[in-house]
Structure 1
Amino acid sequence: MTSRPSRRAVLAGATAATAAVSLAATGSAAHALSTPSQADRQRLRRLISRMSLEEKVGQLFVMRVFGHSATDPDPADVASNQKEIGVKNAAELIARYHVGGIIYFTWAHNTRDPHQIADLSNGIQKAGLAQPTPVPLLISTDQEHGIVARVGAPATLMPGAMALGAHASREDTRIAARVAGAELAALGIRQNYAPVADVNVNPANPVIGVRSFGAAPEAVARLVAAQVEGYQSSGVAATAKHFPGHGDTAVDSHYGLPLITHSREQWERLDAPPFKAAIAAGIDSIMTAHLLFPALDPADDPATLSRPILTGILREKLGYDGVVVTDSLGMAGVRQKYGDDRVPVLALKAGVDQLLNPPVLSVAWNAVLKAVRNGEIEEKRIDESILRILELKTRRGLFRDPYVTHKGVDRTVGIRPHLVAADRVSERTTTLLVNTGRLLPLNRRKQRNLLVVGVDPAAPSGTGGPPTTVLAKALKELGFTATALSTSTGSRPDPTQEKIDAAVAAAKGKDAVIVATYNVSAKSSQRSLVSSLAETGVPVIHLAIRNPYDIARITGARASLATYSWTDVELRAAARVIAGRARPVGKLPVPVPRGDDPDQVLYPIGYGLSY
């Protein structure tokens, strides 16, 4: 991870042909539904009136559950469920706690393959409709694409947010979300925790980074709105996150409590525009941030628990009346001050509707039940949140037909038009930062024999990898001879001297070396890897496969590109650019500060070479 640079130049910089994929082709037109009618609302209010208090409290919770099946998970998943939740499977979870939603995770073994996901979704819906008061569930996941993806291949994998920000095309961004939304809907997933609406004005941000569209607020706002339109036109609830803005943090809220030092005026100018654009686009849900923002609320409480922020600003000032969902309640950022029994109660009092993934569901569920029974939270306040949640479920067609089919999966998920769209969108995001002596594009006749070396971080499950192998394979398919050599050691991106020496030896006799780097810091041995390869006299092409800031720490490379992610789709696009099969048209969506003086900008927003 890079050390935290000064933000003066970065804050200053932050303010300073499309593949056709139709809704008909994705089979999702039927899910593009309108706002619930007055008759719908009356029907939903009657439904709420029939619910027991326990059922009402359950509707507020979105919970994880282990297993590939709603009723018959593997024994290890049964053990995990019993240990963490006190139930055997998803069906028992729903019967006991009446949860309104379930979130899918790869590590919970929810997302093995498309047919399995569809069957799991159907099993969950069957359990929901078997309750005393039948209610379909809202199934959700984090499918941001790029470095965060819970559903992998054969589903279509799109570029992540910052890659899309490099092309800044509303149409490409909308298409990426439309394809992703159609495939999620076909799997029974009707709420996606995307897009990220944070404006990444801090290069050292440890948790947002390339998950953001960029550092220019208005540009981010345009692309956030495009993704909202894309997801929701495909029948999936979009979720703008993380309100009131997580882009200028130096602490990861999974492990600590970040502090935002922006003034109220800076918030209006830097952080607010994407959320305003999402609201104007009709966003279904907004996720809260576990961070302190004293200019918006001087109390020592994270935004998730702040009534001035969630009700005073989000509801009243911005006029948002959709669903507000917490970020995971298992994260350290929301658990440092209060116990797990108080956090969900305080979140509801602040203005939250959905309580996401508490660490111990029984503690959270009983705490909310007790708060309503003893009058700390009025039941009518709970009813307001439930109505919002049920209206969202109505908009997404869950009351009409919550089930999916294998046939629908097969004609939607990973189909050729979607894969072609992903490739075309991806190659328009690759950004060329350096091209000394016009090294690129490579001449296949004169520079045929290539070595691909560098870091091989673990890719999001199902998204491919390892990167050096994927890149070498892509270059071979384009007519080059390419050898892959990883310099990683386990999960460590920085190579040992032994790995560097091996890479230097392998470079001898090659026509060019392509070296992939990952979050290069001032002390990273990845710097030595690049400079040592350059000293061999073999032309070095540098590829930053996560944050584009690596170039500020690199010396000796004759060419440098940024891909913003190491997933297969973006690496294949970079290979086509290197080979001259596609032109580099991406432009930096963030400024890159100098490595030796972070107050100065090395490459500004909008910089990018072409040929």
Structure 2
Amino acid sequence: MSIAETPEEILARMSLAEKIGQLMMCEVYGTDPDRPHEGNGRRFGVPTAAEAVRALHLGSAIYFRWTDSFAEGPGALAGLSRRLQEIARQDSGTGMLIATDQEQGPSSRFGPPATLFPGAMALAAAGDPGLARRSAAITGAELMAVGINVDLAPDADVNVNPANPVIGVRSFGSDPGLVARMVAAQVSGYQDDAGVSACAKHFPGHGDTSTDSHTGLPVIEHDRSLWERVDAPPFRSAIEAGVDMVMTAHIRLPELEPDGQPATLSRRVLDGMLRTGLGFDGVIITDSLQMSGVRQDHDDPEIAVRALLAGADLILMPPDPLGARDAVTAAVTGGRLPPAELDAKVLRVLRLKARRGLLRGGSPIAAPDLSVVGSPAHREVADQVAAAAVTRVNEGAPLPGSLAGLRVLVCGWGEAQDGDLVALLAGRLRGFGAVVRGEQTGREPSAAAAAGLAVAARDQDLVVCLTHDVAAGSAQAELVGRLAESGTTTVAVSVGVPYDAAYLPAAVTQLAVYSLAPPAVDAVARVLAGQSRAEGALPVEMA
């Protein structure tokens, strides 16, 4: 086994092309880096991920479902990671940062058999930082088992805007202090307990927007004082906990960046507010450069250069990786990006790799223990989180206490990443002795469906309607209103943000579970059956 080089030694022997490769994190396609996949051809102009890594000297990769990384299960995923590490070490002498978004909740890539937890807002409703840490530790352990050593989590945004279309339940809530405590707990769980790098996002704060930065450029009107009170505390807490990475936001803040640049391209924001102001000396990674929010004013290769000039160390998913490489090369050779500044960025990345054991010379990569993925002990903790998160939003009618022999209509939103929530809940309620009719009505229930269910509700003892992102006057709100008019006790269960309650009749008993994950369905079934109590606390302010 060779002796590990130091980050400084590795930097000293790297070519310019190898250095630039360390500053790029790209999506790679397929479950075998040596097997052709059309996605690699589209993105890199070569058929395999292995050729892409070598061509760009890539130091980091990221997995998604749409890259087919997870398509063949944990064993194949672990093999993919192992082979990518071998290729990277052979190419540049360093291991790879391999990342995914496993925040839990709606932003999760690694599905069953991995343990699915309710996400951040559910953890905040449960109110236990220790439980938040355990959930991160378990998530991190399962990621490490398949060779993923970076989780682009936790979300450190403070969701103070109920109309936020991109954060919502990904945030721990609207109280900066609560969010800060939960973020710090999860950073410790990921990094100290599981050995996975955490990433606090999206700096300087994406919680007060009504625009999705995937499709547009949000404008946030926070001045410095408001930012310090609302947005900064969770990032400060993450930094104090030793977070390895902070991710930028594609947002415009006129009060903080008068030049109008999105935060990702603003030196005032990244170098000034984050690096100097908050004292962060770790790796700054951009949000995906494929998102519309950062592609408003410059071509794609120029965006990559400007992100590095602003203070970023890792550019995530440049739309044109070869063009980004060439543009950064020209910026360095032309004097626009000073070599010393480039080296400082590479050194931050290499030091992170050293902390995570990725610079161990030619030492063999250990075989994974896949038994931890979705283990009974891990699923038990997910159930514990879900049970603690169920929140009674209003008084409403008393819950039945027992379902034995009751006729129950279950309807409403059913769409989930890995199943039909209406069918799942109906099955759970049958397990408690109820006679259940289930009908998924989805995002936009028709007037005819609402009318038919309202009639059917009259012959039931209980109606349970799942809701998700209800708006005033929406078809979902109309459905719940019609069900309430039937005279049968109606329970509305929000499986997304709890703000649904503002648009539903006060007479309806309202519960919030903040999650589409199966444990949340199990938890609400137990509450309806009188087996447990809804003791969660709302982590957001309601209008």
Question: Under a length normalisation based on structure 2, what TM-score does the superposition of the two structures give?
Answer: 0.96
Q: Does the aligned pair in 1 maintain the 2:118–2:516 contact within 8 Å?
A: no
Q: Does 1:269 align with 2:237?
A: no
> 2 CA distance for matches of 1:231 and 1:476?
38
Please state how far the C-alpha of 1:559 moved relative to its aligned partner. Answer: 1.3
Please state how far the C-alpha of 1:117 moved relative to its aligned partner. Answer: 0.9
Q: Does 1:448 align with 2:406?
A: yes
1:409 to 367, 370, 377: 370
Please state how far the C-alpha of 1:86 moved relative to its aligned partner. Answer: 0.8
Please state how far the C-alpha of 1:370 moved relative to its aligned partner. Answer: 1.1
Q: Give the structure 2 partner of residue 49 of structure 1.
A: 12
Q: Give the structure 2 partner of residue 321 of structure 1.
A: 281
> Residues 251 and 436 of structure 1: is their aligned pair in 2 closer, same or farther, counting only changes over 3 Å?
closer
Please state how far the C-alpha of 1:98 moved relative to its aligned partner. Answer: 0.7
> 1 CA distance for matches of 2:447 and 2:44?
46
Comparing 172-181 with 508-517, greater Cα deviation is found at 508-517
Q: Give the structure 2 partner of residue 516 of structure 1.
A: 466
1:284 to 244, 247, 251: 244
Moved over 3 A (4+): 400-404
Please state how far the C-alpha of 1:402 moved relative to its aligned partner. Answer: 7.5
Letter in 1 for 2:447: Q
Please state how far the C-alpha of 1:557 moved relative to its aligned partner. Answer: 4.7
Q: Give the structure 2 partner of residue 568 of structure 1.
A: 518
1:246 to 197, 206, 209: 206
2:297 to 326, 334, 337: 337
Q: Give the structure 2 partner of residue 98 of structure 1.
A: 57
User: What SS does the aligned partner of 1:238 have?
Assistant: strand
Q: Does 1:480 align with 2:438?
A: no
CA displacement, residues 358-399 of structure 1 (integer Å, 9 cap, x when unaligned)? 111111111101111111112221111111111111211223
Please state how far the C-alpha of 1:404 moved relative to its aligned partner. Answer: 4.9
Describe how 1:149-548 pairs up with structure 2 within 5 A.
149-233=108-192, 234-400=194-360, 403-406=365-368, 408-410=369-371, 412-438=372-398, 440-445=399-404, 448-457=406-415, 459-460=416-417, 464-488=418-442, 493-548=443-498
CA displacement, residues 536-589 of structure 1 (integer Å, 9 cap, x when unaligned)? 222111111111011111116531101112221212111112212221111111
> Residues 92 and 557 of structure 1: is their aligned pair in 2 closer, same or farther, counting only changes over 3 Å?
farther
User: What SS does the aligned partner of 2:6 have?
Assistant: helix
Q: Does the aligned pair in 1 maintain the 2:403–2:429 contact within 8 Å?
A: no
Letter in 1 for 2:149: R
> 1 CA distance for matches of 2:268 and 2:93?
35
Letter in 2 for 1:563: V
User: What SS does the aligned partner of 1:45 have?
Assistant: helix
Please state how far the C-alpha of 1:508 moved relative to its aligned partner. Answer: 4.2
Q: Does the aligned pair in 1 maintain the 2:403–2:528 contact within 8 Å?
A: no
Comparing 540-549 with 289-298, greater Cα deviation is found at 289-298
Please state how far the C-alpha of 1:504 moved relative to its aligned partner. Answer: 2.6
> Residues 575 and 414 of structure 1: is their aligned pair in 2 closer, same or farther, counting only changes over 3 Å?
same
Please state how far the C-alpha of 1:477 moved relative to its aligned partner. Answer: 2.4
Please state how far the C-alpha of 1:448 moved relative to its aligned partner. Answer: 2.1
RMSD: 1.6
Comparing 219-228 with 474-483, greater Cα deviation is found at 474-483
Letter in 2 for 1:504: A
Q: Does the aligned pair in 2 maintain the 1:136–1:402 contact within 8 Å?
A: no
> Residues 268 and 319 of structure 1: is their aligned pair in 2 closer, same or farther, counting only changes over 3 Å?
same
User: What SS does the aligned partner of 2:197 have?
Assistant: coil
Q: Give the structure 2 partner of residue 14 of structure 1.
A: none
CA displacement, residues 21-77 of structure 1 (integer Å, 9 cap, x when unaligned)? xxxxxxxxxxxxxxxxxx98x82111111111111101100001221211125xxxx
CA displacement, residues 274-332 of structure 1 (integer Å, 9 cap, x when unaligned)? 00000000000000001111222211101111111111111111111000000000111
Describe how 1:567-586 pairs up with structure 2 within 5 A.
567-586=517-536
Question: Under a length normalisation based on structure 1, what TM-score does the superposition of the two structures give?
Answer: 0.86
Comparing 565-574 with 396-405, greater Cα deviation is found at 396-405
Please state how far the C-alpha of 1:502 moved relative to its aligned partner. Answer: 3.2
> 2 CA distance for matches of 1:307 and 1:585?
45
Letter in 2 for 1:44: P
Q: Give the structure 2 partner of residue 67 of structure 1.
A: 30
Q: Does the aligned pair in 1 maintain the 2:396–2:506 contact within 8 Å?
A: no
Q: Does the aligned pair in 1 maintain the 2:163–2:210 contact within 8 Å?
A: yes
User: What SS does the aligned partner of 1:206 have?
Assistant: coil
User: What SS does the aligned partner of 1:542 have?
Assistant: strand
> 2 CA distance for matches of 1:514 and 1:437?
13
Please state how far the C-alpha of 1:104 moved relative to its aligned partner. Answer: 0.4
Letter in 1 for 2:389: T
> 2 CA distance for matches of 1:577 and 1:443?
10
> 1 CA distance for matches of 2:434 and 2:384?
21
> 1 CA distance for matches of 2:19 and 2:489?
65
> 2 CA distance for matches of 1:556 and 1:174?
36
Please state how far the C-alpha of 1:405 moved relative to its aligned partner. Answer: 2.7
Letter in 2 for 1:50: R
Please state how far the C-alpha of 1:81 moved relative to its aligned partner. Answer: 1.7
- Runs of at least 5 residues in structure 1 that lack an aligned partner in the other structure: 1-38, 594-611
Q: Give the structure 1 partner of residue 21 of structure 2.
A: 58
Letter in 1 for 2:526: R
> 2 CA distance for matches of 1:472 and 1:105?
31
User: What SS does the aligned partner of 2:231 have?
Assistant: helix
> Residues 441 and 219 of structure 1: is their aligned pair in 2 closer, same or farther, counting only changes over 3 Å?
farther
> Residues 88 and 523 of structure 1: is their aligned pair in 2 closer, same or farther, counting only changes over 3 Å?
same
> 2 CA distance for matches of 1:164 and 1:430?
10
User: What SS does the aligned partner of 1:224 have?
Assistant: helix
User: What SS does the aligned partner of 1:436 have?
Assistant: coil
Letter in 2 for 1:409: L
> 2 CA distance for matches of 1:247 and 1:485?
34
User: What SS does the aligned partner of 1:130 have?
Assistant: helix
User: What SS does the aligned partner of 1:200 have?
Assistant: coil
User: What SS does the aligned partner of 2:393 have?
Assistant: strand
> 1 CA distance for matches of 2:295 and 2:125?
36
Q: Give the structure 2 partner of residue 81 of structure 1.
A: 40
CA displacement, residues 194-250 of structure 1 (integer Å, 9 cap, x when unaligned)? 000000011011111111000000110000000000000201000000000001011
User: What SS does the aligned partner of 2:229 have?
Assistant: helix
Q: Does the aligned pair in 2 maintain the 1:513–1:540 contact within 8 Å?
A: yes
Q: Does the aligned pair in 1 maintain the 2:137–2:190 contact within 8 Å?
A: yes
User: What SS does the aligned partner of 2:472 have?
Assistant: coil
Q: Does the aligned pair in 2 maintain the 1:530–1:557 contact within 8 Å?
A: no
Please state how far the C-alpha of 1:147 moved relative to its aligned partner. Answer: 1.0
